[in-house]
Amino acid sequence: MNLFYKIITFKPSFGLRIVTGLVGIVLSLATCGIVGLTDMVAAQLKTNDESFEGRLTEAGAKVYFEQCARCHGLQGKGADGAAPAISSVAFLGTKTTPSQRLKDIGWIGTLEGYIEAVTASGIPIKSSQVWEQNHPPFSQRFGGPLRDDQIRNVTKFVANWKQKPFTDGVVDAPKPGAGSGPQPTPIPLGPKENAGLEVFKGAGGCTACHAIRGIATGAVGPTLNKLASTAEKRVTQADYKAAGGKATDAAGYIRESILAPNTYVVPDCPQGACASGVMTANLDKILKPEELENLIAYLVTLR
Ligand code: HEC
Ligand code: HEC
């Protein structure tokens, strides 16, 4: 009772009031400081996480350009006969629709899981005859050149195309079963076309830059697998005419492409946009007239 009485009648001295006030202020400032600091640390950790993820994707880009671009192309759009697109909407899906490709093949795992699996182990059997080669294994565990962290990084890099997948100029994988039946027997080449094929492989030096299934794997200029069909399309295009192209049929277009390669510069090459002035410009001097005619006769058979 005595103590209670003392407490309620206690009159602190002026000095004590100041000290208590100061202690109060210091305590509340400290509380604010701790709360603020925790928030700052959390925000910093998040930025760290994001920039770490960013660095991993960057490391993946390096792996991609060194190991994958030669078949899948710099932008992952794929190349006829060489590899399917892995930056397309059909492969990646969009933020709201899932991948059509994974649906078609019935993969029940995640997209990242599929990319990682294919990259790590390769594909032992071609999923379609349209591909020239089996998918090589890349993980050291499967006899490939890459460590598993590199596989994960390149997976991140490929999956990152999902931010903005491509729809134009992509070579999507055929649906399962399509293209796996017997292939049409190629029409045997006549003597003139055969002589032209030899020019393509020899005197013309074309194989250094162009691919034709089973014949050449050059990856500087466009693939010529279906050249005659492509040529027929190109001569009707407005951009071809605007560039001063004069040909009206496949043979004419091919002749013009060989003798005046810079008239119409093809938009897409395996490593990105085609540059003008890359293709040999003086083929009219290098090739004899007969060689040129044979070469054209051969190229017109590519459909
Ligand atoms: C020698 C050429 C070649 C190289 C190099 C290559 N690929 Fe492929 N890739 C292919 C072919 C061919 C296919 C289709 C194989 C099949 O379906 O049987 C394919 C398929 C894929 C697929 C599955 C696509 C789909 O639609 O199912 C992914 C993912 C892939 N590659 C990722 C990579 C990555 C990542 C790299 C680099 C580390 C790489 N590839 C390097 C040729 C290649
Ligand atoms: C040094 C590399 C290089 C060599 C060698 C080369 N080309 Fe090309 N070729 C290219 C490039 C790059 C393009 C695309 C740019 C352009 O249209 O000029 C191209 C385009 C073409 C096109 C047009 C293809 C299309 O899709 O419209 C044809 C046809 C062609 N080349 C045939 C040949 C033939 C035949 C030879 C051999 C006599 C040859 N090239 C040698 C780099 C080369």
Q: Decide: 203 in ligand 2 pocket, CB within 6 A.
A: no
pTM beyond 0.85: no
Which among 172, 177, 180, 179 is positioned nearest to 100, based on CA atoms?
Answer: 172
The Cα angle at residue 268 between residues 197 and 122, in degrees rounded to 5: 80
The set of protein residues with a Cβ atom below 6 angstroms from ligand 1 is 67-68, 70-72, 82-84, 86, 91, 101, 115, 118-119, 123, 126-127, 131, 133, 135-136, 138, 154, 158, 173
From 240, 257, 303, the mutation candidate for ligand 2 (largest count of ligand atoms within 8 A of CB) is 257
Predicted pLDDT at 150 = 97
Predicted pLDDT at 38 = 83
pLDDT means over runs of 10, the chain (303 residues): 77 84 88 82 80 89 93 89 94 92 94 97 89 92 96 97 91 81 71 96 92 87 91 94 95 96 89 87 93 96 91
| Cα 238 to Cα 70, 106, 241, 295, distances in angstroms | 30, 41, 5, 27
Full set of structural domains in the chain with CATH: 57-163 (1.10.760.10), 191-299 (1.10.760)
Predicted pLDDT at 183 = 60
- What H or E segment, with its residue span, contains residue 216? strand 216-217
Predicted pLDDT at 182 = 59
Query: Are 283 and 200 spatial neighbours (Cβ–Cβ below 8 Å)?
Result: no
Predicted pLDDT at 184 = 59
What is the Cα–Cα distance from 89 to 110, expressed in whole angstroms? 16
Which among 139, 159, 136 is positioned nearest to 60, based on CA atoms?
Answer: 159
What is the Cα–Cα distance from 84 to 103, expressed in whole angstroms? 16
- DSSP character at residue 65: I
